[in-house]
Amino acid sequence: MSYPPHYRQASVLRERARAPTEAELAEIPWLPGLAGPERERALEGLVVTEAQAGEYICRFGRTATYWFGLVDGLLKMNNDESQGFAITFTGLAPGGWFGEGTVLKREQYRYNVQALRKSRVAGLPVDTFHWLLDHSIAFNRFVMQQLNERLGQFIAAREIDRLTNPDLRVARNLAALFHPLLSPNVAGILRITQQELAYLVGLSRQRVNEALSTLSAKGWIRVEYGGLRVLDLQALRHGEL
């Protein structure tokens, strides 16, 4: 029997799964809030897998079996092209956990999450996720904050879609990638290429390059070897050009 490519990809990702290293556990932002049986339960369930560029971590129409977080790499969340025009909802940077709304409802994904480059992804089983919700106040608070911040992010994304200034589109998308709560491990510098940023913003690489030059001249960012450093996050979020 043959299976669709995304089902084969999911199987391959599961086959690559392994226990996280101590260094990888240190990159999980909600884990320090757990202690005793809650922490032990989380450690028993957590796995890490590697996704190659182009592979799907979440696929439209598939039932959620894990809550995922990005340890290292870069992901994009977008709609399924079979549902209409391709729309990128957001980029996902290191330290970010995503899909908690789908996991909470134990429903099928209404979006895709795809690796833009080789990425390490952590996963917590859905049953463990719900057990922690039932037993850990700290975990509940983290998930509630995630949902609240994600809602604000998607409201902002709708506003970005209406922007006609390409430089501001790039600025607002960069601000989302540097979100201190949704992407806590990015800190001040993000490892991203102009082509990867172009995929997220929906502009050509050449136009993104022009926008980065504009933002750099304004003193909002600094382009460094292999990435970008934010100098003024508030300007990226709210500044005008």
What is the residue extent of each domain of the chain? 5-155, 165-238
Structure tokens at 119: 């990425």
CATH class label, 5-155: mainly beta
- Bridge partners of 223, per DSSP, are 228
Element (H, E) at 230: strand 227-230
CATH architecture of 165-238: Orthogonal Bundle (1.10)
Res. 3: pLDDT tops 80 = no
CA gap 180, 160 in Å, rounded? 19
pLDDT in tens, 90-140: 889 999 999 999 999 999 999 999 999 999 999 999 999 999 999 999 999
pLDDT in tens, 222-240: 998 878 999 999 999 989 8
Please give the model's pTM, rounded to 2 decimal places.
0.85
Closest C-alpha to 18, from 46, 43, 48: 48
Q: What are the two backbone dihedrals, phi and then psi, of residue 34, each rounded to the nearest 5 degrees?
A: -100, 145
Provide mean pLDDT across the span 140-167: 83
Res. 2: pLDDT tops 50 = no
